[in-house]
Amino acid sequence: MTLAQRFILRALGVAAISLSGALGQTIAPLPPTMPDALNVVERLRIEAGQLLPTVRTADAQRFLISTSWLPVPMPRTVWRNPSTGDVIAPREHEQLPAAAQEAFEKREYSERDYYYTRYGSPLAYVRAVDLLASNLPASIPDNARLRNKKILDFGFGGVGHLRLLAALGNEVVGVEVDRTLRAIYADGDDQGVINGSPLMDDVSPDGSLLLVFGRFPADAEVVRTVGDGYDVIMSKNTLKNGYINPEHHPEHHADKAPGVDLGVQNEKFVEEVFKRLRPGGLFLIYNLSPAQAPEPEKWLPQADGRSPFPRELLEKAGFEVLEFDTDESAPARKMAYALKWNEGAQPIDVEKDLFGLYTLCRRPTTPLLK
């Protein structure tokens, strides 16, 4: 029985398997729904078991199997000022004068919120992990391409996938501007050394996790903290053309649409990403998007998942463009079915309302000829 099969059985609590001859075994079918009594890590383990047949690389498998060692978090309390939008952790709230404390309202976040936040399952990153592992040098063993790497996630949205990447033996840095996440992840054990996943006789080295809150690269202190020397810089569902360049759609009232303010010109952002990669390092933009609204006045910025940076701009910065706005819809839909996004209280029509695009660039080991 393979390690992946053992994990599926463990995740589902299945005691029996049916033999199918000398060449292998058949895993018992997945349960249609998850019991309400499961804690958040048990739910993630089941999701990981459902996703395992959809991935190609050993590193993506290890990423999923590492859910077995995720800690079960305690519920978190944060304090929010509805007038200013400020969100602070309990320790910060206690340090305020009594009069200032009264301006804040208590908000409770469950153990599920800790990993899923408002952005969904952290395991939806598995396709991005699969793509990265597939494009790292073939000279690296296929179970360790995402090991001993320095990885930056721009707009990380939740800590779960960062911990899983760190548990593979990587130095992981996440950058985010969401003030609520800053307050939720304010405990000391939310970052730091992350124990390597003990996958049978192949134990990953310990990794590390650093969460940085602020605007990159507009904030000089954030830039200093982030540093450089990265093997991978990635971003999922943040660097969308609809968010970064809403002015490209003036007929759709884009001035009122939610967006992502990089704080610098697009050219400067791409240049900073290039500078912070090691030679041979990868830059991945991975976006999942819904169908665009047919009415112009209802245009959805989140539905424009194209790269916000034209190929020419990426190449001008020095990148070798490996893939540009490559259609990722079919693999993304397999992932969506595995995660059962087509079921539950708010199901989506996976075939008609889920699309994927990705752009993958490499910093050349030698400068490209202009």
Domain boundaries, the chain: 76-109
* Three-class DSSP category at 363: coil
pLDDT number for residue 60: 95
* Three-class DSSP category at 236: strand
Amino acid of residue 70: L
Amino acid of residue 266: N
Query: Using 50, 70 and 90 to split pLDDT, how confident is the model at 33?
Result: low
Of 270, 265, 365, 284, whose CA–CA distance to 328 is shortest? 284
Amino acid of residue 275: K
How far from chain centre, in Å, is Cα 87?
A: 22
148 pLDDT higher than 50: yes
What would the mean pLDDT of 88-98 be, rounded to a whole number? Answer: 96
**Mean pLDDT, rounded, of the chain:** 88
pLDDT in tens, 154-179: 999 999 999 999 999 999 999 999 99
Among 17-31, 33-47, 55-69, 287-301, whose mean pLDDT is lowest? 17-31
What span, in angstroms and rounded, lies between the C-alpha atoms of 45 and 361?
A: 32
Among 70-74, 246-250, 308-312, 314-318, whose mean pLDDT is lowest? 246-250
* Three-class DSSP category at 31: coil
pLDDT number for residue 1: 47
The first and second tokens of residue 258, run together, are: 């939610």
The first and second tokens of residue 330, run together, are: 């079919």
Report whether 200 contacts 239 (CB < 8 A): no
Higher pLDDT, 298 or 243: 243
User: For residue 208, what is the enclosing H or E element?
Assistant: strand 207-213
pLDDT > 70 fraction of the chain, expressed in percent and rounded: 85
